[in-house]
Amino acid sequence: MVQYHITGGKPLRGTVPISGFKNAADGILPAAIMCDGEVHIENVPCIKDVLLWLDIFRQMDVKVTPQGSNTFAIDATTVNTETPPYDLMSKMRASYYLLGAMLGRFGKSTVSLPGGCEIGERPIDQHIKALEAMGAEIDITGNIITATATDGKLHGAHVYFDVISVGATINAILAAALAEGNTVLENVAKEPHVVDVANFLNSMGAHVRGAGTNVIKIRGVEKLHGCSYAIIPDQIEAGTYMAFAVATGGDLTITGVIPKHLESIIAKFREIGAQVETSDDAVRVTRPGRINRATVRTEEYPGFPTDMQPQITTLLCLADRQSTVTESIFENRFKYVTELARMGADVVVKNRVATVYPVKGFHGADVRACDLRAGAALIVAALAAQGETNLSEVGYVERGYENIIEKLQAVGASITRVETAD
């Protein structure tokens, strides 16, 4: 078993470099196998999700060539679609992007889908709605989903999503890029990683316009060609290190970011008492006084991101007065609160609303991560806590945070990664 052992109470000071965005890589990597040529992708975060993508590609006879740290050449000229590695696909939700990618390129795709996870049921009805509108026939047997273009190739469509969904938006863009004719997508997600996937596809010769706005228009093209591309920085990783700085009363300069992507996070952090200075590609975060109470509501971009909800809720446990956090995106994203309570938190959850009662501080405890951002939140608490914390199930954390131990140790955190027999 792997655990993080953390001794809290030390203000973090120094500089933290931010890696490529996990949720952008989750869309760009499957998009890379839509072209029968070589693409060079830089700023790829070396995290479990990415390593899983590369294993899936190797099992599909896609050529993957590491080119120095964080850069990979990917050549899917001879991709084998006949034997999808279901076991690997079922380990990652984002494998559903192979539906749009392979359906778009070959007119058929079979993937295995994981069920919902710790944060909610996470249906894929909007993905199916878009793909069927483009002429796909969908069959779901067990957790295997097979999509086939009834005319051998997808055709353009006008899709109005019932729910704003990052995944469905990206999947539809992938499928439409090589479809015959024009596609219009409305009520779409506007996250920076949606824009990043669209920009990557356009670098390969696709014709995607309007990503980042309410309406995305795609003119299908015949083929895609190779390209070189760099993934955008991870604004959720950056926000998480901002939370580490605030939790410990430290002084962190977080580099390699796009401040525009952090606007809602910066605004909320200033509201709770952080001092945030921004420059072209960095933010500097300190917390001179107490943490102020706040009302938080997660929203689709450009609102406050759901992927920062566990981290901000943890900080608000240390505020001077009672706070309220509403999780409007996922129906079950407060499970980590029971673990936080073992460290001294006092949070009462009713449906999607958490009432956060102020406590004097956290104390160390043995806790476990129940999902990626829940693990990050427990590290926020452990770094602020008096005493030792042992965090288990850290595999969740390592799905999305590259070199988190080294990055934290470099700014003074007392954290080690310990493998034990059991």
| Residues with a known catalytic role | 117
Please name the residue that has the structure tokens 């878009």: 130
* Stretch of residues binding ligand EPZ (CB under 6 A), selected from 35-43, 119-127, 195-203, 240-248: 119-127
CA distance 153 to 147: 11
- Name the residue whose CB lies closest to ligand EPZ: 167
| Sites for ligand EPZ among residues 337-396 (CB under 6 A) | 372-373
Examine residue 302 and say whether the peptide bond preceding it is cis (omega within 30 degrees of 0): yes
With CB under 6 A as the contact rule, the residue among 14, 58, 77, 123 that binds ligand EPZ is: 123
CA distance 63 to 81: 14
Q: Give 131's DSSP letter.
A: H
Q: Give 404's DSSP letter.
A: H
Question: Which residue, 102 or 291, has its beta carbon nearer to ligand EPZ?
Answer: 102
Cβ neighbour number for residue 159 with a 10 Å cutoff: 24
Residue 87: in which H helix or E strand, if any? helix 86-89
- Least gap, CB of 115 to ligand EPZ (angstroms): 12
Is 122 a binding residue for ligand EPZ by CB under 6 A? The answer is: yes
Question: Which residue, 43 or 253, has its beta carbon nearer to ligand EPZ?
Answer: 43
Instruction: Report the SS3 class of residue 268.
Output: helix
- Least gap, CB of 212 to ligand EPZ (angstroms): 14
Length of the chain as a residue count: 422
What is the crossing angle of helices 309-316 and 235-248, to 10°?
10
- Least gap, CB of 274 to ligand EPZ (angstroms): 22
Is 133 a binding residue for ligand EPZ by CB under 6 A? The answer is: no
Rg (CA), the chain: 21
With CB under 6 A as the contact rule, the residue among 1, 51, 87, 125 that binds ligand EPZ is: 125
What is the crossing angle of helices 22-32 and 192-203, to 10°?
30
With CB under 6 A as the contact rule, the residue among 17, 37, 114, 120 that binds ligand EPZ is: 120
| Sites for ligand EPZ among residues 16-45 (CB under 6 A) | 23, 26
Question: Which residue, 4 or 53, has its beta carbon nearer to ligand EPZ?
Answer: 53
Cβ neighbour number for residue 376 with a 10 Å cutoff: 28
Contact by Cβ (8 Å): 343, 385: yes
For ligand EPZ, what does the binding mask look like between residues 87 and 116, x meaning CB under 6 A? -------x----------------------
Is 215 a binding residue for ligand EPZ by CB under 6 A? The answer is: no
Cβ neighbour number for residue 339 with a 10 Å cutoff: 22
| Sites for ligand EPZ among residues 42-71 (CB under 6 A) | none
Is 127 a binding residue for ligand EPZ by CB under 6 A? The answer is: yes
Please give the C-alpha separations between residue 134 and each of 49, 229, 326, in angstroms, as whole numbers: 29, 28, 36
Number of chain residues interacting with ligand EPZ (CB under 6 A):
23
Question: Which residue, 25 or 245, has its beta carbon nearer to ligand EPZ?
Answer: 25
**Beta-carbon contacts of residue 53 (< 8 Å; ≥ 6 apart):** 25, 26, 29, 30, 92
CA 400, distance to chain mean position in Å, is: 7
Is 398 a binding residue for ligand EPZ by CB under 6 A? The answer is: no
Question: Which residue, 53 or 330, has its beta carbon nearer to ligand EPZ?
Answer: 330
Is 408 a binding residue for ligand EPZ by CB under 6 A? The answer is: no
For ligand EPZ, what does the binding mask look like between residues 139 and 178, x meaning CB under 6 A? ------------------------x-xxxx----------
Residue 38: in which H helix or E strand, if any? strand 38-42
User: 235-252: b or e for each residue (b if 16 or more CB lie within 10 Å)?
Assistant: bbbbbbbbbbbbbbbbbb
Closest CA to 204 of 225, 223, 219, 221: 225
With CB under 6 A as the contact rule, the residue among 112, 261, 400, 408 that binds ligand EPZ is: 400
For ligand EPZ, what does the binding mask look like between residues 291 and 330, x meaning CB under 6 A? ---------------xx---------------------xx
Interacting residue ranges for ligand EPZ, rule: CB under 6 A:
23, 26, 94, 120, 122-127, 163, 165-168, 189, 306-307, 329-330, 372-373, 400
